[in-house]
Amino acid sequence: MMVSAAWAQQPRGIKVERDDFFREIVNKLPSPRTVYYDQTITGSYQVTKLDTLRGLPDAAKAQNLDLRGAILIGPYGPTNLVYVYAFFAEKTGIRVNQLTMAQARFTYKSTGTMTRAQYDTFFNNMIKTNVLRSGLPDDESKYETLFARWSNGALETYYGSSITPPPGSNVNEYGKLLNRLLVSLAKTYPLKKGPTTR
């Protein structure tokens, strides 16, 4: 009875506001509301790469975080997949927060750290694959990836597609670099709770 009453008090779905989306990016841990956000609710914020690029610096500043880079992928595919990697300078290196959305919900979060040298090497190696080109395009629908790097107040941007890459690009290396980054991070959401959890 108590369990049923507690469940009945839980929200079935909460509209995703723009600020909610950015808070999920800049915070490595989920909030108590993360599981309830539903982008299909009328009026919910619809993610775009260019708006994320515009809003992320202010969201980081509001949390006193030193934003250094971002990787924005999607939305694409039948589940409208969105991947966001945000890189923040800390005293001992670079903090990486990763966020995944699928089927209109936050489905995965992870975090980790790297040295500043590793961060520079990662970004430089990604650009060397030639999958990405410098600048910002006018039409988001023609590419799925946007890279951004802030250095001494200056912003560098790169965009491209590993689905329809330019001739001469090294898509295999591009994919390996992204995959190595993802598996180096520790999952923070969802986490199973119970006696078997380590």
Domain count, the chain: 1
Burial classification of residue 33, based on how many CB atoms lie within 10 Å of its CB (0-12 exposed, 13-18 middle, 19 or more buried): middle
The label of the residue with tokens 């250095």 reads 151
128: in domain: yes
pLDDT of residue 47: 92
Please state the separation of Cα 180 from the chain's center in Å. Answer: 15
Task: Please report the pLDDT score of residue 155 as a whole number.
Answer: 95
pLDDT in tens, 48-77: 999 999 999 999 999 999 999 999 999 888
Q: How far is CA 70 from CA 2, 118, 167, in A?
A: 44, 15, 25
5 lies in some domain: no
Q: Give domain status of residue 2, yes or no.
A: no
What tokens appear for 46 in the block?
């619809």
**97 strand-pairing partners:** 86, 111
- Strands, E, within 91-193: which ranges? 93-102, 105-114, 132-134, 145-151, 154-160, 186-189
- The position carrying tokens 């880079």 is 69
Round to whole Å and give the CA distance between 27 and 56: 12
Give domain status of residue 195, yes or no. Answer: no
For 138, the domain range is 11-189
> In 10 A of CB 30, how many CB atoms?
18
Residue 28 lies in a domain: yes
- Asked whether residue 194 is domain-assigned, the answer is no
H-assigned helices in the chain: 2-9, 18-26, 49-62, 116-128, 171-183
Domain annotation covers residue 182: yes
Q: Which residue ranges in the chain fall short of pLDDT 70?
A: 1-11, 193-198
Q: What is the pLDDT, as a whole number, of residue 181?
A: 97
What are the tens digits of pLDDT across the range 171-188? 999 999 999 999 999 999
DSSP 19-30: HHHHHHHH-SSP
In a domain, 104, yes or no: yes
Cα 127 from Cα 151, distance rounded (Å): 16
